[in-house]
Structure 1
């Protein structure tokens, strides 16, 4: 959490500096995003498609804000730096949720053991609120694209990276009974003390994305983006089998979403 605070402090200093020194050139945008989020957690077997891609899928929505370090209204005598014309800062507040189940060979129909039944009986949910920022690198000049002065320039692909502060609230239930009263209904590796924690908490995450904007109107764009988000905690789903050698990574997700962006000035 100390590292997250340092990052956020540096981010706000950076934003304030940009506003102070370049306020004559700054421009702003707002918008929203919505799409499907695929969660990869302790639910499901590693390298199983349903567990990692097709099964534990939820929804996400968010509000976004962009700070551009240049005025994208084209002015021949007011060109700025390469950084200002290819990078923009994006702030985001988003919400995600997903239902989580086990998939893979350990819950196949041919598995008839009691432990397999316990896996099949486990069901989880997790809820996420993300607040953070990303720096986007646009291959196309932001002024050229935003000013609409080049009619054939309709797409603006970009890469992004950033940090989020995340509030998560997981839950767990079993079809076999109340696991808090009788832990024996849970699969063996999560019966170890500390392997289950469904308390709501705050963590951080790193994000990396790829996307593109497409001209929609004179002052608006449609965006399409795929983003990978890696959490600094392994309890986002409520489970963390620390003694299991297969449990090497923290929870993460891939969010595929579309959005709408409106130019404020």
Structure 2
């Protein structure tokens, strides 16, 4: 928890510093976003569509704050520079959750007890994200935000940023207590070695960080408001967001060959943004 507080404080101070150091002709916006998040984790087979896109899907909601480096509403005729007119900073606090299940040929097989263990194995994870992103807009922010060009309705952008993430996974099995031997698939069974490994499965909350990359667009909705639609990829620096992290060689911290990557998600959401000034 202390680590979480320190990292969160650092991000907030960074956002405040950007605000204080920006030129006086700046503007601010607030908004709300909501949509579906597709989790790609250790649940399900790699390259299986339902496991990676269509199956382990949850919902997310968040509040956002935008800092613009130009006062585009009231000083549109006083041009600044390329950075101020094409970049903005977005701070975000969001919440996500999803139920997780195993999909793919290994879980669908009816020939082995291992498939039965996979089908009976379920999980959930909860996420709270706090961080900031930098957005680059192809369309001039001043031209779009000032509403001085009637036919300018869309403002596409790309974004990149970093987040602090608090995660809280849970694990269950229809076959009994997941901590008991012969309940989970062997590579997640903490009681079996070398097939399983210490901490291959755990339901303890934790704090990590993540990197984000997104693409989206704004749509001019009203004189002082926009709608947005965005798709964002978020890669976590931990593999325990779902509670699972199989290792082939626990002593040397070497992962199972089928467990190459950390957990990540794809969040597709819509939002509403209101101009404060």
* TM-score, normalised relative to structure 1: 0.93
1:12 corresponding residue in structure 2:
13
2:89 aligns with: 89
How many Å separate the matches in 2 of 1:13 and 1:170? 29
Query: Aligned ranges for residues 126-141 of structure 1 at < 5 Å?
Result: 126-141=125-140
CA distance in 1, matches of 2:97, 2:245: 19
1:242 maps onto 2:254 in alignment: no
3-state SS of paired residue (2:247): coil
CA distance in 2, matches of 1:21, 1:142: 16
1:34 corresponding residue in structure 2? 34
Give the secondary-structure state (helix, strand or coil) at the position aligned to 1:183: coil
1:169-208 aligned at under 5 Å gives the runs: 169-180=168-179, 182-191=180-189, 192=196, 193-208=198-213
Mapped to 2, the partners of 1:68 and 1:52 lie a distance apart of 36
| Structure 1: gaps spanning 5 or more residues | none
2:21 aligns to what SS in structure 1?
Answer: helix
Give CA deviations for 1:147-191 in whole Å, capped at 9, x if unaligned: 0000000000000000000000000000000122x1321110101
Unaligned runs of 5+ residues in structure 2 are 190-195, 249-255
Separation of aligned partners in 1, 2:104 and 2:125: 20
The Cα offsets for residues 29-83 of structure 1, whole Å up to 9 and x where unpaired, read as: 0010000000000000000000000000000000000000111125365211110
CA-atom RMSD, angstroms?
A: 1.9
Report if the CA contact (8 A) 1:168-1:200 is conserved.
yes
1:75-122 superposed Cα distances (whole Å, 9 cap, x missing partner):
3652111101100000000000000000001011x4321111001100
State whether residues 90 and 134 of structure 2, in contact with CA within 8 Å, keep that contact through their aligned partners in structure 1.
Answer: yes
Number of aligned residue pairs: 261
Task: Write the distance in 2 (CA, Å) between the matches of 1:43 and 1:82.
Answer: 45
Partners of 1:21 and 1:195 in 2: CA distance: 47
Stretch moving more, 213-222 or 73-82: 73-82
Q: 1:216: which partner in 2?
A: 221
